[in-house]
Amino acid sequence: MEDTAALLGSSAIKQRLAGVTGLLEQLRRQDAAPEASATLIPHVLPCLRDHNSKIALGALEILQLLVSRVAESTLRSYFKLLWLSLVERLGDSKLPVREKAVDVVVEISVVLDVDTVLDKLKGCMGHKNWRTREQSLHAVWRCLERQDLFREKQDELLDDVLKLLEDSSKDVRDAAITALEKFYMCIGASLLSDLEYKNIRPSQVKTLTGRFERIPVRGNENRAVTPSYDDRSNQDNDDAPAQGDAAPEKLSSILSSYDLQVSSSSSSVARYLASVRSRTNNEAKAMADVSGDGDRSPSQASSTSSKVVQASTFGSGGGDISEKEIQKQLGVIFDKLHLDNNWDKRVGGLKMLQKLTKRCRSASNSGNVLPLLSQGLRPIRERLCQQVTDLRSSVSREACQAIETLANTLRDEFNAHAEIFLGYLLKATYVTIQVISTSADTTIRSMIESTSNGYARVIPKLIECAKSRNQVLRYNAVCYLTMTLQRWSTSFLSKHSDMFVPILPVILLDALGDVRATSRKCYWSFHHLFPDEADGVFARLDGTTQKNLKDDPSKFTAKTARQTEFSSMNDAAAPQAVDLSNDSQRLPSHLKTVLPKLFQKYIDTKESIRVIARENLEYIASAIDCSTLTALVISMLGDGSNMKVKAAMCHYLRDLLPGAGEYLKHGANNSHMRSFLLKIALLMDTDVPVSVSSACSELVSIAAQLYGPEMEVALGLLPPSKRLVVSKVLKSKKIVLNFSNTQRPPLSSSAAPHSARSRDGEDDDNQDMEFPAPRQERSRKRPESPSVRSSSPARQNSQKRINTAAQVPSPVIVKNPKTDDRASRQGPVKRPDEMTSNATLSGHPVLSTTTFSSAAADADKHDVQLDDLLLLLEKNNLSEAEIKHALYKTLHFIETGSSATWDRCFGRLLLLLLDAATDKDVHALKVLQKLVEAQPTRAQMFFELLLQRLIDAIGDQVDVARHLMERILHDLVSFASDHQQTLSTLVPLVSRVDPPALQVVLRLVKVCLQACERTSPQDAVFLRKPDIANSLMKVLTRRLDHASSSVRKNAVDCLVAFHFATKEDNSIVPKYLAAELDDTRRRLVEIFIDRAKVDRHPVGLST
């Protein structure tokens, strides 16, 4: 034998092959002693790496025989070299070599520790050679089968096997499925329960389930079905051929329970029929359970039965779930949600949480396990919130769905988590990534709908967000507050009614039109529940806001919405479809819920569903008043992100517009038409498909033909950017709006005194300005000094008459300009000499006819030319010279404009100048500065807008533009009347902006504090409040460590100004500095305070 083994080291292939063949025959004929077998291993090892496949195959067969004959210590000494050779053979190109290498690995696992071999195989499962990965899987399940360790090693190896289900090689994927089949054969149905919480695609689950159904299980589950199979379950896999030759009577016993007479070759068919029979029995039980649940529709019964069957397939339906299992699954989820993990692993953890939640809900002991689930959420709550803020949309969306599932399952038990989840979800609602913001919005709405008893700290959180500077967040918060008033119980809301009282006036006077429109719905929902408190809020509002509230349609629908929403919360059964054959009076209460779903079905991929949805929409259009339906569909145009649905809504509106005159022709200042045009402009101002843009264009065209006068007036009320969008549509359709002879409805602002206007401006319907009556088209080229007489018919019809005699120092009593305006349109226009003669007859002294005629003509000319300038500045195609000339002429109107003119045009002019000023246009900045100086009170209404836009526009370069921006902001802060509000706006910017804007903000803070010093002590008392003083000084002292010396100097100046602004209590700053700053910085501030005291009270100077 030793002589034969010596041939294995020969350099000649034939001699090596002869040595391998001879040694193999000798080992098969006789058993070698362990000592002799140990001496053969060094001769065999080089042959394992031989390039000749016959030599390598023979060496593997020799090694398989030697492994079982040598001692464990001997094999362990050669194991390292032996394993390297075996790994190479596992990836051999010849299948027999690879299979024999697997046999050797299995034999080694018997002699050595199986854990060592499995650990090595786990490394091979990630090998770059796909053949090595495939054979490693076969080696793993064969080692486990040989040692019967499937249950013990399930947790250790199952994840690695599942990873290879996604392998790029089909052979590796098949090998992974084979390994899972072996696991299932030994473990049973509990494996499916574990796989339910793994990150497996549905298609893979379906494949595995189909494969598992054909496999007999060794456990107790299938003994009742296949009682004789246990006799075969203990046989080794290597005895498979013998199993194929099993006796016919065994197969007959397998099939005897099914009363089938088949041959011995039908074992696979028998197993398949057994699984079918078992599944049929489960379905019958599920249907029996469903039939006992009360009256349900067939679709609900079928869906319920399918869910039960699916749950029973995965071993989780209808059974109990233990606290230990919940804690185990939550621990796995906690590990998966770590931020350091890959995003797909975190998504798998979120899906696992949703499945666990659904399983707890469907468990028979759900009443006991749901509180345990709620308690177990506390450790993973923070990590779940972190997934919501992830910028990867798939992660954030899955996290939102998980929270939604938890809220709908836990319901009142979710109260302990609602506030924390809501905080993170609200931040996600104004993210620019639409998938994230839409998912967060849907989740919050579902949270509110999940309970009727309310969540304790949700309303205060929403009210806080309604005061935010972010427009989207304010709008969403008001929408959610409205939902709480419509859905939650009155007993719960009564505890928070006092919190609604101060916030309602704020949101009703919001700067954003959509917020104000939604806040009116919120007000009437609040009024329905708490009329006394709501009436108190109403009494404190100005006349314009009161009129808009009275005109809002929510006044009439608040009660219906409350009854509908609240009844749906108390309905334990599933919501039933609306029967359109019932009385049409029942439809309006359901329209808000039904219409979005019908439009979704209207674009479904199945023709039959689209036809049914179309029939339902047509019936609704015939049964409901067109004005009511139009208002509802217009309000839905901005909801959601599905462009196909929006196109369907536009087509549906096209047929409703002819009968919607009652809605579109009414409303304060054409608010309904303005809302319609604004929705269309917002929709077309984004990147939308051609189908949506063409549908919107057609809708605008039809509206212009039907309601031209109302559209012309509403078009003037739109912001410039949105007006431009609609104008482009009209121009493309060659539609010219020219309805100057039609009288314009009176403005609502005429009913309220001018002093009633708040700082935030009037409602979006008039936007703090009066607009002139529609004018006829004039030539684009207008002479600088028109010589048109005041009696010209064109001027009488196109220009608004403004009596400027009151501006001339004269005792002549003039009528209300608005009254004169209406009179001038209703009757023949009086000439100036006629007006003068009337004044003379009344006994009042008058000016000469020439003087009066000149003054009236000049005022009329100025008013018209200012409108022309505004229209000119709104164009985007002017040259630099034309813009400069228009700005120069605007300076003249700033000095001579009347109060009525500024009421109407101030906002438009300021916004146009601000757009040009932020582009570093020096001329626009000069005009803006002049405007702020001339109209300080009106400029305060736009304080936050001016501050934010100009601070953002300040650049690093020190130039004239930057100097002018700072001067404008300086004037704004100096003219401010509410210093506390001004400081609350400036202080957050100190922490947020960077130089050079930071230096400007600090100087503005100093100006505000110096203004506080100049006021009375009662006006500056707020500075001595501990919370305000500490927050202000905390922000300023942080800037003492800034790298820029200019920032540090300005921060010190602000602290000095604050010290003197506190007036009566000058110890606030020293105490804070002593507690918070080190000696060096504290001494620095004290030096500057002492210097300021000397400057303010010089010593030694003669009086």
pLDDT over 90 at 597, yes or no: no
CB-CB neighbours of 140 under 10 Å: 26
Burial-class residue 630 by CB neighbours within 10 Å (0-12, 13-18, 19+): buried
Residues in the chain, overall count: 1103
- φ, ψ (nearest 5 deg) of residue 881: -65, -40
How many other C-beta atoms are found inside a 10 Å radius of the C-beta of residue 141?
23
Other C-beta atoms closer than 10 Å to the C-beta of 601 total 18
| Residue the block writes with tokens 């398989």 | 64
**Which residue, chain included where needed, has tokens 């709104």?**
874
Give me the mean pLDDT over the 82-93 stretch.
90
Among the listed residues 711, 717, 719, 720, the one whose alpha carbon sits nearest the alpha carbon of residue 739 = 711
Query: Could you give the CA distance from residue 549 to residue 558 in angstroms, rounded to a whole number?
Result: 13
Fold of the domain spanning 2-233: Leucine-rich Repeat Variant (1.25.10)
- CATH number for the region 320-562 comes to 1.25.10.10
Pairwise pLDDT comparison (58 vs 853), residue with the higher score: 58
Distance CA 564, CA 571 (A): 11
The whole-number pLDDT of residue 534 equals 92
Q: Domain residue spans in the chain?
A: 2-233, 320-562, 588-746, 797-808+825-946, 976-1103
Does the CA dihedral 842-845-851-856 come out positive or negative? Answer: negative
3-class state of residue 812 by DSSP: coil
Asked whether residue 841 carries a pLDDT value surpassing 70, the answer given is no
User: Helix axis angle, 434-449 relative to 393-410, nearest 10°?
Assistant: 0
Q: Report which listed range, 235-249, 331-345, 871-885, is most confident.
A: 331-345
Per-residue confidence band for 460, with pLDDT thresholds at 50, 70 and 90: very high
d(CA 631, CA 642): 20
Whole-angstrom distance, CA of residue 451 vs CA of residue 358: 18
pLDDT in tens, 794-834: 333 333 333 333 333 333 333 343 333 333 333 333 333 33
Q: Do residues 47 and 59 lie in contact, with contact meaning Cβ atoms separated by under 8 Å?
A: yes
pLDDT at 757: 37
* pLDDT, mean over the chain: 74
Closest among 659, 662, 688 to 673, alpha carbons compared = 662
CA distance 937 to 952: 23
Predicted confidence (pLDDT) per residue in 938-997, tens digit: 888 888 888 878 887 776 555 788 788 888 888 888 888 888 888 888 888 888 788 888
588-746: same fold as 320-562? yes
Single pTM value for the model: 0.36
More confident site: 924 or 764:
924
Instruction: Report pLDDT digits (tens) over 196-247.
Output: 777 788 788 888 888 888 777 664 444 333 333 333 333 444 444 434 443 3
How do residues 638-673 score in pLDDT, each as one tens digit?
777 688 888 888 888 888 888 888 888 877 667 788
DSSP conformation letters of 717-756: HS-HHHHHHHHHHHHHTT-----TTSPPPPPGGGGS-GGG
User: 386, 396, 460: which is closest to 431 by C-alpha?
Assistant: 396
Between the two ends of the chain, the Cα-to-Cα distance in Å is 128
CATH number among 2.40.50.140, 1.25.10.10, 3.40.720.10, 3.30.1540.10, domain 588-746: 1.25.10.10
Return the number of other C-beta atoms located less than 10 Å from residue 428's C-beta.
22
pLDDT for position 283: 54
